[in-house]
């Protein structure tokens, strides 16, 4: 049986992966065409990456899921330490990407490569991070956690209101951000024109 928390984590990971890949696709398209990207849209997309995963998703993994796993089993403790470290550094890494975007917007073409490099490094880091959680941590959790653990985890992750997962409609405060991104970003997460 797949618990609600595991399903929500996987949905949130899928939404974030789609967002990150869409940013890379948009940048590739603009580089090929020799055009500047829509900086407001890129800022909105990076705001989502910072706002939801860094402030809502990661804390629940670090403060709820990982401690329960550590209490139940010695398996994968080194990996959980690495993932916790990723969570701790994630906010710093996204600030670096946001700064590189600002430099690209303010200084133009000479800063394109630096921003694209920072973005690609962040995407690789994040996709690798989520892959470890999905391949190793979530299956371990399903094997060793008890029903009381799952009730609490299901309730905590059920409170998440990710803009792009199928779990809930977006919170009202994020509705305009959701609309802006969805109308510009191409599929798989948006309604914008295909790349």
Given CATH 1.20.120.520, say whether it is the number of domain 4-184: yes
Residues 6 or more apart whose CB falls under 8 angstroms from that of 184 comprise: 38, 41, 190, 192
Which pTM value belongs to this model? 0.85
Residues 6 or more apart whose CB falls under 8 angstroms from that of 123 comprise: 20, 21, 23, 24
Residues 6 or more apart whose CB falls under 8 angstroms from that of 156 comprise: 5, 60, 64
Tens-place pLDDT, residues 62-112: 999 999 999 999 999 999 999 999 988 988 999 999 999 999 999 999 999
Tens-place pLDDT, residues 125-164: 999 999 999 999 999 999 999 999 999 999 988 876 555 5
Rg of the chain over Cα atoms, rounded to whole angstroms, equals: 18
Give pLDDT, residue 97. 97
Give pLDDT, residue 52. 75
Closest CA to 164 of 6, 10, 5, 14: 14
């Amino acid at each position: 049986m797949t618990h609600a928390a595991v399903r929500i984590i996987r949905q949130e990971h899928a939404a974030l992966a789609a967002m990150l890949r869409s940013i890379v696709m948009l940048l590739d398209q603009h580089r090929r065409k020799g055009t500047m990207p829509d900086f407001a849209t890129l800022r909105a997309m990076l705001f989502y990456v910072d706002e939801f995963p860094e402030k809502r998703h990661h804390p629940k993994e670090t403060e709820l899921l990982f401690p329960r796993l550590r209490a139940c089993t010695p398996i994968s403790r080194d990996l959980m330490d690495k993932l916790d470290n990723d969570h701790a550094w994630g906010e710093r890494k996204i600030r670096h990407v946001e700064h590189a975007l600002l430099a690209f917007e303010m200084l133009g073409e000479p800063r394109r490569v630096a921003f694209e490099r920072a973005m690609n490094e962040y995407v690789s880091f994040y996709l690798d991070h989520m892959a470890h959680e999905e391949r190793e941590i979530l299956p371990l959790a399903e094997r060793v956690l008890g029903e009381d653990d799952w009730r609490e985890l299901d309730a905590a992750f059920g409170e998440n209101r990710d803009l792009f997962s199928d779990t809930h409609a977006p919170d009202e405060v994020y509705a305009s951000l959701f609309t802006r991104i969805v109308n510009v970003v191409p599929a798989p997460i948006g309604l914008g024109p295909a790349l």
